[in-house]
């Protein structure tokens, strides 16, 4: 029988779940703490243009997700020619890394050092790598690790690569060795080529967030309720230990038969009553990384051709920069300016997180000029700072043991599902989160158990065999 389901959070996972439930005529109510749907994948208007929260390309090898995307977006999307680069040592390297391009930029001496380092590592490889550094060094050698992996990864995570769990590399980096990449580059790949999203990606014409705005419309049409600016304080349980509703921040209590949470997993669990001490301790061992986005409006329309650039330069603090002018005319229309977005990653304890917007804006202006990504004559017309807490679940070495304790506890509450990047403590892309939402809805509707915790391995992504991935994407 249809049940009353409360969903915490109106991001990709929560909205996808709600859409399928309302389509099946279930009673659904969403509580979203912000004023807009879409979560990290939302879009918004800025200086008479449209921007996203950083770069969000859509692709999946999963037919369920692709069919759902087309069902919601219809024809209101375009295929964008992808161009992304790594900025390192004042040069641009194609990303995903292509050996010929990389070798030409590095020069013969550095290439020799890379190959020597790789073969030396091959002789003394770590049999069971436990850290990101060990995993990558095994695959590519110490020299290439230091050039293309170390600086960016440590900017993103805020901890040494020797403390990042090897599972991060296994999830995010194509399982390809340096030798295989070089061999494929020079001798060719005999396997059938596929036109993958190394070359193109699907993108809604009015920003990635328009996909979720359309979901919002469909959910409301189907009779669902979406409460914006309504944060949830905690999930309630009855005397038997079953989840039976939520308490809002204003103290109001709303009953439900099923609870779906996309709020940060550790906060959700610690807010429950009578949580075992070992589960609380496991929650205390897990943590998230914050993001600060700085948008700059430049009075120029042809700055650089990339959709976004990964910045591997230790002399600047930002790690990625997006050029929204290169995503399609639906974002900028008749405007003759370009909006850039610089990303800074930090913890709440870091000074930059609590700094004034003006200081952060000035820092971004200084750094974009230091990298010479805008011409000297171009003026920076406007700036805007957006803070996003708990964006990245940190995969510190051994995190899986703590996460397993939490997962087992959540599984003991059969009518409580935790999904999404925040909710499952998974570094999801939006297609992973959508799939989580769709399968969570299926579980609620049919009663069949779905393996929601194990969605997101990236093994389905078929990038070009002549490239080396470094785990940077999205």
Domains of the chain (ranges, CATH numbers): 4-44+207-283+396-454 (3.50.50.60), 98-187 (no CATH), 288-393 (3.90.660.20)
Can you tell me the mean pLDDT for 166-185? 66
What rounded mean pLDDT belongs to the chain?
A: 89
Is the pLDDT higher at 181 or at 221?
221
pLDDT at 50 over 80: yes
Residue 377 is predicted with a pLDDT of 87
C-alpha distance from residue 367 to each of 88, 261, 315, 318, 411 (Å) = 14, 38, 9, 8, 46
- In the predicted structure, residue 142 carries a pLDDT above the cut 60: yes
Mean pLDDT of 388-393: 94
pLDDT at 27 over 90: yes
pLDDT at 7: 98
- Residue 261: beta bridge partners? 8, 418
Q: Assess whether pLDDT exceeds 50 at residue 461.
A: no
β-strand partners of 322: 308, 341
- The pLDDT value given to residue 472: 45
pLDDT of amino acid 459: 42
Answer with the residue of higher pLDDT: 25 or 455. Answer: 25
Average pLDDT score over residue span 73-83? 93
Neighbouring C-beta atoms of residue 271, cutoff 10 Å: 17
Q: pLDDT tens digit string along 143-160?
A: 989 998 899 999 999 999
Is the pLDDT at 250 greater than 80? The verdict is yes
Lowest mean pLDDT among 60-64, 208-212, 225-229: 60-64
Q: By mean pLDDT, which of 59-73, 115-129, 164-178, 306-320 is the weakest?
A: 164-178
Taking 90 as the threshold, does the pLDDT of residue 22 lie above it? Answer: yes
> 96: cis peptide before it, omega within 30°?
yes
pLDDT of the residue at 467:
38
pLDDT at 194 (0 to 100):
35
Lowest mean pLDDT among 179-193, 333-347, 414-428: 179-193
Cβ distance 285 to 399 under 8 Å? yes
If you count them, how many residues does the chain have?
474
What is the model's pLDDT at position 196? 36
Range 437-442 average pLDDT:
96
Angle in degrees, CA 44, 308, 426, rounded to 5? 75
Mean pLDDT of 186-197: 44
Residue 132 has pLDDT above 50, yes or no: yes
For residue 414, pLDDT over 50 is answered with: yes
Average the pLDDT over 436-457 and give the result: 90
Confidence check: pLDDT of 189 > 80: no
Q: Is the pLDDT of residue 223 over 90?
A: yes
Q: What pLDDT is stored for residue 471 in this prediction?
A: 44
The pLDDT of residue 59: 77
pLDDT value at position 170? 76
pTM for the whole structure: 0.91
Q: Which residue has the higher pLDDT, 73 or 168?
A: 73
Task: Tell whether the model's pLDDT for residue 182 goes beyond 90.
Answer: no
Helix (H), strand (E), coil (C) string for the chain? CCCEEEEECCCHHHHHHHHHHHHCCCEEEEECCCCCCCHHHCEEEECCEEEECCCCCECCCCHHHHHHHHHHHCCCEEEEECCEEEEECCEEEEECECHHHHHHHHCHHHHHHHHHHHHHHHHCCCCCCCEHHHHHHHHHCHHHHHHHHHHHHHHHHCCCHHHEEHHHHHHHCCCCCHHHHHHHHHHCCCCCCCCCCCCEEEEECCCCHHHHHHHHHHHHHCCCEEECCCCEEEEEECCCCCEEEEEECCCCEEECCEEEECCCHHHHHHCCCCCCHHHHHHHHHCCEEEEEEEEEEECCCCCCCCCEEEECCCCCCCCEEEEHHHCCHHHHCCCCCEEEEEEEEECCCCHHHHCCHHHHHHHHHHHHHHCCCCCCCCCEEEEEEEEEEEEEECCECCHHHHHHHHHHHHHCCCCEEECHHHHHCCCCCHHHHHHHHHHHHHHHHHCCCCCHHHCCCCCCCCCCCCCECCCCCC
Buried b (16+ CB within 10 A) or exposed e, 72-90: bbeeebeebebbbbbbbee
Q: What is the pLDDT of residue 57?
A: 85
């Amino acid at each position: 029988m249809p049940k009353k389901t409360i969903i915490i959070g109106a991001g990709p996972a929560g909205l996808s779940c709600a859409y399928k439930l309302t389509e099946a005529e279930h009673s659904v109510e969403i509580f979203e703490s912000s004023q807009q749907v879409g979560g990290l994948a939302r879009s918004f208007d800025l200086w008479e243009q449209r921007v996203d929260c950083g770069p969000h390309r859509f692709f999946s090898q999963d037919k369920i997700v692709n069919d759902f995307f087309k069902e919601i977006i219809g024809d209101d999307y375009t295929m964008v020619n992808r161009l992304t680069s790594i900025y390192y040592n004042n040069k641009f390297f194609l990303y995903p890394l292509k050996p010929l391009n990389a070798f030409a930029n590095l020069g013969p001496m550095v290439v020799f050092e890379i190959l020597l380092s790789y073969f030396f590592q091959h002789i003394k490889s770590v049999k069971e790598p436990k850290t990101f550094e060990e995993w990558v060094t095994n695959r590519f050698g110490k020299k290439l690790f230091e050039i293309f992996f170390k600086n960016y990864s440590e900017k993103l995570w805020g901890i040494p690569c020797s403390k990042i769990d090897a599972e991060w590399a296994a999830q995010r980096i194509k399982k390809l060795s340096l030798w295989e990449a070089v061999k494929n580059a020079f001798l060719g790949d005999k396997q059938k080529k596929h036109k993958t999203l190394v070359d193109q990606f699907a993108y809604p014409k009015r920003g990635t967030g328009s996909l979720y705005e359309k979901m919002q419309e469909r959910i409301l049409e189907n009779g669902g309720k979406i409460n914006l600016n309504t944060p949830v304080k905690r999930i309630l349980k009855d005397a038997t230990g079953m989840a039976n509703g939520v308490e809002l921040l204003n103290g109001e209590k709303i009953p439900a038969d099923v609870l779906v949470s996309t709020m940060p997993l550790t906060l959700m669990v610690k807010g429950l009553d009578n949580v075992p001490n070992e589960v609380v301790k496991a929650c205390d061992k897990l943590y998230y990384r914050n993001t600060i986005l700085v948008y700059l409006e430049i009075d120029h329309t042809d700055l650089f051709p990339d959709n976004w650039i990964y910045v591997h330069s230790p002399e600047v603090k930002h790690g990625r920069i997006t050029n929204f002018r290169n995503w399609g005319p639906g974002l900028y229309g008749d405007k003759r300016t370009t909006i850039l977005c610089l990303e800074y990653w930090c913890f709440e304890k870091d000074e930059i997180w609590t700094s004034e917007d003006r200081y952060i804006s000035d820092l971004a202006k200084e750094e974009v000029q230091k990298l010479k990504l805008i011409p000297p004559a171009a003026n920076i017309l406007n700036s805007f700072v957006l803070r996003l807490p708990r964006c990245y679940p940190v995969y510190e070495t051994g995190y899986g043991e703590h996460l397993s304790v939490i997962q087992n506890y959540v599984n003991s509450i059969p009518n409580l599902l935790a999904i999404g990047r925040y909710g499952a403590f998974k570094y999801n892309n939006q297609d992973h989160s959508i799939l989580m939402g769709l399968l969570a809805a299926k579980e609620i509707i049919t009663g069949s158990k779905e393996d929601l915790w194990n969605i997101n391995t990236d093994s389905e992504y078929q990038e070009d065999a002549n490239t080396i991935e470094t785990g940077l994407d999205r």
